[in-house]
């Protein structure tokens, strides 16, 4: 298991290769990379606040659950905080399992939980001002398929 909460940029491809090379018995490796999107146009920066201490604990608990529930050979979570620009990678998840179904499900599980249960908050800065990104009902609802909480 590897969890990193860090303001520094990361190289998704290099992380994926390093992660995959460390797996034993995995036939399937899935990665997800989240990128800052300029949805409305005019995004200058994305500020990501987090709750040091709780963030790492919350993510480690999710990863432990995923390792066990999906029989993973390994999992990786990287999440940045601080000031990011449009098209910057925000975070990545990688999962590995003997079979593809489990690797995919675990990556989606981790993403759904990270979105709604890891203490990060996004603030958008545009030429017109700043605003906190609102949580989406669909993100909360996405947790239902995993049996809630």
Nearest approach in angstroms of CB 108 to a copy of itself is: 5
Considering only residues 12 to 41 of the shown chain, the ones binding another protein according to CB under 8 A are 34
Please choose, from the candidates 31, 34, 35, the residue with its C-alpha nearest in 3D space to the C-alpha of residue 14. Answer: 31
Using the contact rule CB under 8 A, the part of the chain among 11-19, 37-45, 47-55, 64-72 near another protein is: 47-55
Q: Sort 102 into a burial class: Cβ within 10 Å, 0-12 / 13-18 / 19+.
A: buried
CA gap 91, 8 in Å, rounded: 11
The torsion angles phi and psi of 87, rounded to 5 degrees, stand at 75, 0
Give, as ranges, the residues between 68 and 127 that touch a copy of itself (CB under 8 A): 89, 98, 100, 103-104, 107-108, 111
Q: From start to end of the chain, where are the E strands?
A: 2-6, 28-35, 43-50, 74-80, 82-84, 89-97, 120-126, 129-132
- Tell me which of 37, 132, 141, 144 binds another protein, using CB under 8 A: 132
Partner from another protein, a copy of itself, none binding residue 86, C-beta < 5-8 Å depending on class: none
d(CA 94, CA 55): 18
Residue 141 as a binder of a copy of itself (CB under 8 A): the answer is no
Decide if residue 37 touches a copy of itself (CB under 8 A): yes
Phi and psi at 124, nearest 5°, equal: -95, 135
Q: What is the CA 9 to chain-centroid distance, rounded?
A: 14
- Determine the interface stretch with a copy of itself among 25-33, 49-57, 76-84, 116-124 (rule: CB under 8 A): 25-33
Interface positions, 55-114, toward another protein (CB under 8 A):
57-58, 79, 90-91, 100, 111, 114
Which residues are near a copy of itself by CB under 8 A?
11-17, 20, 23, 25-37, 89, 98, 100, 103-104, 107-108, 111
């Amino acid at each position: 298991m590897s969890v990193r909460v860090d303001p520094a940029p990361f190289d998704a491809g290099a992380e994926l290769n390093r992660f995959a090379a460390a797996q034993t018995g995995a036939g399937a490796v899935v990665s997800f990379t989240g990128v800052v999107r300029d949805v409305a146009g005019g995004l200058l920066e994305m500020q990501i606040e987090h709750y040091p201490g709780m963030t790492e604990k919350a993510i480690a608990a999710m990863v432990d659950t995923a390792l066990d529930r999906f029989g993973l050979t390994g999992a990786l979570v990287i999440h940045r905080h601080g000031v990011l620009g449009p098209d910057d990678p925000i975070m990545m998840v990688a999962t590995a399992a003997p079979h593809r179904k489990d690797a995919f499900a675990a990556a989606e599980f981790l993403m759904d939980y990270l979105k709604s249960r890891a203490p990060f908050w996004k603030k958008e800065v545009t030429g017109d001002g700043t605003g906190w990104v609102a949580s989406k009902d669909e993100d909360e609802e996405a947790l239902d398929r995993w049996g809630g909480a």
